[in-house]
Structure 1
Amino acid sequence: MNTDEATLGRCPDCGEPIHRARLLVEYEKDDGTVGIWAECTSCDTVVAPE
């Protein structure tokens, strides 16, 4: 995941940066790490940013 405060990472489908404002869900995974789901405005879909 990207450490830039303004972005959450990149869309795994199109590669566009996903900005923090598009965050939908933040959750704790079974292994204790944080998972996120966000909206990609380019793909118009919900993704797990990389």
Structure 2
Amino acid sequence: MNADESSLGRCPDCSERISEAWLLVEYEKDDGTSGVWAECPACESVVAPE
């Protein structure tokens, strides 16, 4: 497994990579797509990873 497989994306505020370990909430949006909220380990903000 490479590091990208466990990554949720990057923080929209500081661009730090956010791993699945920082996942807080996973949900389904009204349009049927899924979304996540995670804590950024670098800036300690709760964000929707990009």
Q: Determine which structure has more spread, i.e. the larger CA radius of gyration.
A: 2
Give the TM-score, by structure 2 length: 0.89
Task: Report which of the two has the higher share of helix.
Answer: 2
Point out the structure with the larger strand share.
1
Mapping 1:26-37, distance limit 5 Å: 26-37=26-37
Scaled by the length of structure 1, what TM-score is found? 0.89
Q: Is residue 24 of structure 1 aligned with residue 14 of structure 2?
A: no
Alignment size in residue pairs: 47
CA RMSD of aligned residues (A): 0.6
Q: Aligned partners of 2:14 and 2:45: how far apart in 1?
A: 11
- Return the offset for 1:6: 1.4
Unaligned runs of 5+ in 1: none
Segments of 4+ moved more than 3 angstroms: none
Q: Tell me the CA shift for residue 8 of structure 1.
A: 0.3
Taking every aligned residue pair, what percent have the same amino acid on both sides? 72
